[in-house]
Structure 1
């Protein structure tokens, strides 16, 4: 189940929070209903960029993962500290085997999340660095090849601002989602996914 909205396209400071919850056997349907209501409530808060629920992958991994994304850390904290969220938490706390575990992801890590991966666990930093470079190098080369002549007379600082202004949205919305899928076999080896 997923629910996604687009509160803002500025993802430079976007923060993703992953919440893991173990649900008592037989309480799954009630938990999913209450969790969906909580996710819908979050959409009304400033900076909300989307949410997803990942159901338990296997009997050996019975946790639900709920992923929220907010535009900034401040927006996330506003939601986390709200009376609305706390009221929703109270409503399904009795359905949980143990207290929820929370992990906050930000920066480059948020580029490396597979929609089907459960749990959302970032790959090693060296792998993220290599795949980011593989996306950046040809893209920057193409930008200079196509626009190099036009950009040459532009002052250095302005030229850099223009190139990075093109590059960052490309990386966030076009390149990294594709490169993450293409290199999933290396970023997320099956044996590691099975151990997660």
Structure 2
């Protein structure tokens, strides 16, 4: 198997529960996630609830699932367990679901609007990933440290890792990619006149 196809993958699914049906939706999603976590290749799953101050229009739930490789994720997506779970949840959601797949850290730093998908060297991805994750984790600890202190270690790690992945994917990584684009994706040297490829 191609080594490039065996890296862990993440899938983030966002859904909006019908008003007055949040409790049933959350219970069914807990069952859904339990089945997902027991599925071969699943590295973990987590449901992120809307914030207490979220408006009605912002009442989105986010389910984050991690699998050891794309093949395991594909098997889960085609499984009868997933189909049954989605059928049970369907009456309690409204609007379309939003699905985003994240395949490896390098996909955080793909060249924007590139006709041909490219990825920077792994060491550059590692440096920029650290530049994004370090301040993100630091700020989350400052903001949520006291609030999460009574939680168990596993619960704290679960929430913080979900928040870090979400913030990196939609906030920090795209900004760092734009800021450091010349370094991540250096332009190929211009050929001299008369030089042929």
Report TM bin, short chain: 0.5 to 0.7
Q: Does 2:41 correspond to 1:44?
A: no
Q: 1:27 Cα shift? A: 0.9
Q: Secondary structure at the match of 2:38?
A: coil
Q: In 2 relative to 1, CA 39–109 (structure 1 residues): closer, same or farther, beyond 3 Å?
A: farther
SS in 1 for 2:40: coil
How far, CA to CA, are the matches of 2:70 and 2:126 in structure 1?
A: 27
Quote the offset at 1:82 in angstroms. Answer: 0.5
Aligned mates of 1:67, 1:125 — CA distance in 2? 25
Compared CA separation, residues 15 and 62, structure 1 to 2 (3 A)? same
Question: What displacement does 1:62 show?
Answer: 1.5
Q: CA deviation at 1:109?
A: 5.3
Superposed CA deviations along residues 51-108 of structure 1, whole A, max 9, x for unmatched, are 1111123214211110000001110011111011101111110111113121101121
Change in 2 beyond 3 A, CA 1:29/1:109: farther
Provide the C-alpha distance between the structure 2 equivalents of 1:87 and 1:97, rounded to a whole number of angstroms. 18
Query: What number of residue pairs does the alignment pair up?
Result: 129
Measured in 2, the distance between the counterparts of 1:78 and 1:100 equals: 20
Corresponding residue for 2:105? 108
Tell me, yes or no, if structure 1 residue 81 matches structure 2 residue 78.
Answer: yes
* Match among 21, 25, 28 for residue 31 of structure 1: 25
TM-score by length of 2: 0.54
Aligned to 2:115: none
Structure 2 residue matching 1:22: 3-state secondary structure? strand
Report what 1:183 is aligned to: 135
2 CA distance for matches of 1:18 and 1:135?
22
- The structural deviation recorded for 1:14 is 0.6
Q: Give the CA RMSD over aligned residues.
A: 3.5
2:105–2:125 CA contact under 8 A, matched in 1? no
Secondary structure in 2 aligned to 1:25? coil
CA distance in 2, matches of 1:96, 1:133: 41
1:17-28 matches, cutoff 5 A: 17-28=11-22
Cα 1:124/1:25, change in 2 over 3 Å: farther
Distance in 1 between the 2:95 and 2:60 partners? 10
Q: Distance in 1 between matches of 2:63 and 2:40?
A: 19
- Secondary structure, aligned partner of 2:95: coil
- Structure 1 residues 124 and 78: CA distance shift in structure 2, 3 A: closer
Report the counterpart of residue 68 of structure 1 in structure 2. Answer: 65
